[in-house]
Structure 1
Amino acid sequence: MDFRYKGQEDLTNSVSLLISILIRYPEVAKIKFDPEKNILKFTFIYAGIMTESEINGLKQNTISSIQVYHSLEYKAPRIINLDYRVSDGFTMIEIQRDVDTLVQEEIALMVELFRQYINKNLVTEESEQLVEEDLEVQEELIEHMLASVKMKSENKRLYAFRDEGRVLVFNK
């Protein structure tokens, strides 16, 4: 018999979502879930210091691509924001997206945009490559967990990141 309560199941789904995103997309350095604002914050790392014009180009390209994607789906995202900070010779780029309109395909789009735009300077944690079948399973899991988190009642702030080949998740 399973004695888990609804809140525990919601937390499990939120944790699973963050883990699945980090496993599927090694380009995502860390991810935060803010249940109060109902947003996910994806952090990508650029090896070097990006200029203001490079950041503005990335921001314009990313935001317009996400908006076009959603217009094709007849949806309007509530929050699309790109911010950055420089630390120790690296540029940390954070994309904030509302969970309500976020879908797995958009996450794939964001990652591909970063791959193309900052190419060789995108910091990734390359571990053992997932085979195509595993990638599809991770994508399906992400879509399922996103749907579950959209209907959530959980209010725990979560923070997940990579550390030497492991994915760590903390309740903030």
Structure 2
Amino acid sequence: MDLRYKGKEDLTNSVSLLISILIRYPEVAKINFDPEKNILKFTFIHAGVMTEAEIAGLKDKALSSIQVYNSLEYKAPRIINLDYKISDGFTMIEIQRDVDTLVQEEIALIVELFRQYISKNLVTEESEQLVEEDLEVQDELIEHMLESVKMKAENKRLYAFREEGRVLVFNK
């Protein structure tokens, strides 16, 4: 296989992964892929300023849930981190996960945790609701792209976010 083609295929898989996650989960505001650290960073937005206690509660619940899920799957994640930033009356919450141990089911767990914990204050992109069959196809695509990215030779930092109903992907 031509190495130039292989690099483009890896980039395509990485881009497809980010796009698929944003399409499947409108609660994810943006997603970054850092190939040097081999981590995905999921950003959720809370419509308002969260208190230290609220953030500590969310962090405890999210990190312990992710750790329990991984222990049940007999995996030892390298990176599980939650960070936040407050800006313009919003709280941006970022979950960092290493790609090597991440699976689609864990992404679904993370999103569901945010749906339940933040609920009405979780900023989501209003879009057409995917039907159940489309959701299953997106889940399978995410799992396939995750596996492809795990075996990649890709070295481009990617950044994807939503804007006016579109998903935009850039390399940094």
Q: TM-score category by the smaller chain?
A: over 0.9
Q: What secondary structure sits across from 1:143 in the alignment? A: helix
Shift of 1:3: 9.8
**Equivalents in 2 of 1:31, 1:113: separation in Å?**
17
Q: Which residues in structure 2 correspond to 1:22-41 (within 5 Å)? A: 22-41=22-41
**Equivalents in 1 of 2:3, 2:90: separation in Å?**
46
**Structure-1 residue corresponding to 2:160:** 160
**Equivalents in 2 of 1:9, 1:131: separation in Å?**
29
**Equivalents in 1 of 2:3, 2:29: separation in Å?**
34
Give the aligned CA root-mean-square deviation in angstroms.
Answer: 1.2
Q: Which residues in structure 2 correspond to 1:1-172 (within 5 Å)? A: 5-172=5-172
Gaps of 5+ in 2: none
Output the amino acid matched with 1:125.
E
Output the amino acid matched with 1:98.
D
Output the amino acid matched with 1:7.
G
| More divergent stretch after superposition (48-57 vs 4-13) | 4-13
* Matched-pair identity in %: 88
Shift of 1:62: 0.3
**Equivalents in 2 of 1:72, 1:132: separation in Å?**
27
Shift of 1:126: 1.6
**Equivalents in 1 of 2:58, 2:98: separation in Å?**
19
Output the amino acid matched with 1:48.
G
TM (norm. structure 1) is 0.98
**Equivalents in 2 of 1:63, 1:114: separation in Å?**
12
Q: How many residues align?
A: 171
Q: What secondary structure sits across from 1:77 in the alignment? A: coil
Q: What secondary structure sits across from 1:100 in the alignment? A: helix
Output the amino acid matched with 1:51.
T
Q: What secondary structure sits across from 2:85 in the alignment? A: strand
Output the amino acid matched with 1:31.
I
TM (norm. structure 2) is 0.98
CA 1:49–1:148: 2 relative to 1, 3 Å: same
**Equivalents in 1 of 2:45, 2:85: separation in Å?**
10
Gaps of 5+ in 1: none
Q: What secondary structure sits across from 2:82 in the alignment? A: strand
